Amino acid sequence: MPELPEVETIRLYLSSKIVGKTISKIDILTKKQFIGEPQKIIGHKITGIIRRGKILTFVLEKDWFLNIHLKLTGQLLYAANVNKAVFNHKIPFVKTQKMPSSTTRVIITFTDQSGLFFNDLRKFGWLKVSRQPEKVKAPDVLSPDFNLPYFAKILWVSKKPIKVLLMDQEKIAGLGNIYTNDALFLAKIHPLRKACSFNQKETETLYQKIIDVIKEGLRWKGSSDVAYLLPDATTGRYQNHFKVYGREGEPCLVCATPIKRFKHHGRSSFFCPKCQKKWI
């Protein structure tokens, strides 16, 4: 899905649009994607929106919560009037169209007739009503808990390849395939290097590059490479600034060597064979 920068962009956008509004209706078009009882939160006001890792949580009155995971193709589109919603956009999967579209799975309407369309082509995402925010085990990349001592601690005890560790949401919350690949490139580290093989300097560099690349992604409002859109159906622009992700065969931005791709843990890894030497 959207990774941390995409979800945070959505959170920032929606904070100014729906906080203070009261849910009047929830239409569930794809049952398996809505967990819990929607009627429990009908009539409740949204008092805030938080995000930890890739999970967005609407905080409601009286200790109710609506947690959302967009997975790979989830979108949250905001309309001032849910009955007259038309979005114009051109990226794949959802073309210019009236809402609800063929990929709309849930519609949340507020008392002023504004609302949200949860669209999700691949049906992996979910919404979940609960009495407490969905638990996220690891520190979020942008939280103070994600500090250098913590990062060093998890690296030095792990025998996993560094890329696998960085994408483990129980160790660090928020990184996905795009930003992990790009952070490793910026730090000049091969994705398969064992985490426990890092020295102090390498650890510090990678720590800083992770934060840098996440902030850059946020600055461009995320990457609209596949299905991600802002709630107004505009696109993010980090895809125009990819370092190695999705750039197989294209020249390395530093040394012009063609970027290589390989599969590992079911995911594509992209790297520059010259800048990111294998192991020590």
List of residues contacting DNA (CB under 7 A): 1-3, 6, 32, 53-54, 69, 71-72, 92-93, 102, 121-124, 159-160, 167, 169, 176-178, 222-228, 263-268
Spot the catalytic one: 2, 5, 38, 100. 2
Query: Phi and psi (nearest 5°) for 34?
Result: -120, 115
Residue 25 or 122 with smaller CB distance to DNA: 122
Residues 6+ apart with CB under 8 A from 84: none
54 in active site: yes
Helix (H, G, I), strand (E, B) or coil at 251: strand
Min dist CB 187 to DNA, Å, is: 19
Annotated catalytic residue 3: yes
Bridge-based pairing state of the strands 64-69 and 126-130: antiparallel
Nearest approach in angstroms of CB 61 to DNA is 27
DSSP 39: G
Considering the complex, what minimum distance in angstroms separates the CB of residue 124 from DNA? 4
With left for phi above 0 and alpha for psi between -120 and 50, is residue 267 left, alpha or beta? beta
Is-catalytic flag, 90?
no
Q: How far apart are CA 58 and CA 36, in angstroms?
A: 14
Q: Which residue, 74 or 109, is less far from DNA as judged by CB? A: 74
Of residues 84 and 262, the one with the C-beta less far from DNA = 262
The SS3 assignment for 201 reads helix
Q: Which of 51, 54, 163, 243 is catalytic?
A: 54
Under 8 Å between Cβ of 136 and 68: no
- Cβ atoms 82, 113 nearer than 8 A: yes
- Closest contact distance (angstroms) between CB of 159 and DNA is 6
CB of 214 to DNA, least distance (A): 13
| Catalytic member of 3, 139, 221, 247 | 3
Known active-site residue 204 = no
For residue 45, what are the CA distances in angstroms to 41, 251, 277? 8, 51, 53
Query: 22 or 177, CB closer to DNA?
Result: 177
Marked catalytic residue, from 40, 267, 273, 274: 267
Cβ(224)–Cβ(91) below 8 Å: yes
Please say which residue, 53 or 115, places its beta carbon nearer to DNA.
53
What's the Cα-to-Cα distance from 135 to each of 5, 8, 140, 199, 234, rounded to whole Å?
19, 17, 12, 32, 30
Look up tokens 């690891």; give the residue. 138
Give the strand pairing for 126-130 and 34-35: parallel
Q: How far is the CB of 164 from DNA (least distance, A)?
A: 8
Pick between residue 108 and residue 121 the one whose CB is nearest to DNA: 121
**Residues taking part in catalysis:** 2-3, 54, 267
